[in-house]
A = this chain, B = another copy of it.
């Protein structure tokens, strides 16, 4: 199985599919091609959330604002998964979530056909080859150089002070839910009550539909973090927050 993820929208992902299917008859699974465009951090968040649902696979992921520069090409063995993409931090949060056992390789590649589309010319052929020949080639073929030097992406940690938790909005999802870095466990014992979010009282609830249409709530999302939401509306608008914004929760 070979999964594909990118920020390419349409129609560039098809060129990656063609390049792969010209080399292997792998089962292709589209993860998404609408990762936040050119936003390596937000894209890394989503890959971290999604990849662990998959069985062992080769995961090709490309969000690559540095395409054509000297940024390296990375192949990561994470347990029984292999992740392939640019060495810009994109793959690391997902790899760490998949396994504690990570081996990283820089990959030498021939001068590709283009300097602007390594997805088609470098990453897709590489993922196809790893799928075809197995993860063993990472250790066996001298194009692959084992390394401990690679880019990473980290997410800010929330902090606590005097009963308040200060965190950040990491991403906003397609429904408008503002997903924070605050672990859902801080709401333990507070669900069903009101909590203070950025100075205003908001109900903490288990489900979106526990409040009226258009009403705000805080809940614990599927990523186990605190999420600012509006039932059948957009939390980002209801709370006036976006990625990177500060969120202060006061729990009485």
Residues on A close to B: CB < 8 A?
A: 1, 3, 5, 8-19, 21-22, 28-35, 37-38, 46, 49-55, 65-69, 113-117, 120-121, 173-175, 206-210, 219-222, 224, 227, 231-232
Contacts and interface: CB of A to CB of B under 8 A. Distances in A.
A164 B67 CA distance: 29
Given A21-B29, A120-B222, A222-B120, A210 B69 contact: yes
14 contacts: A1-B21, A11-B50, A12-B222, A15-B49, A18-B53, A22-B55, A65-B231, A67-B208, A68-B208, A114-B220, A114-B224, A115-B219, A115-B220, A117-B222
Contacts of A222: 12, 15, 113-114, 116-117, 120-121
A207 B69 contact: yes
Copies in the assembly, this chain? 3
A55 B17 CA distance: 10
A55 B51 CA distance: 28
Contacts of A12: 173-174, 222
A-B residue pairs, 10 tightest by C-beta? A18-B53, A68-B207, A117-B222, A9-B174, A10-B34, A18-B54, A11-B32, A114-B222, A10-B32, A14-B31
A243 to B, nearest CB: 15
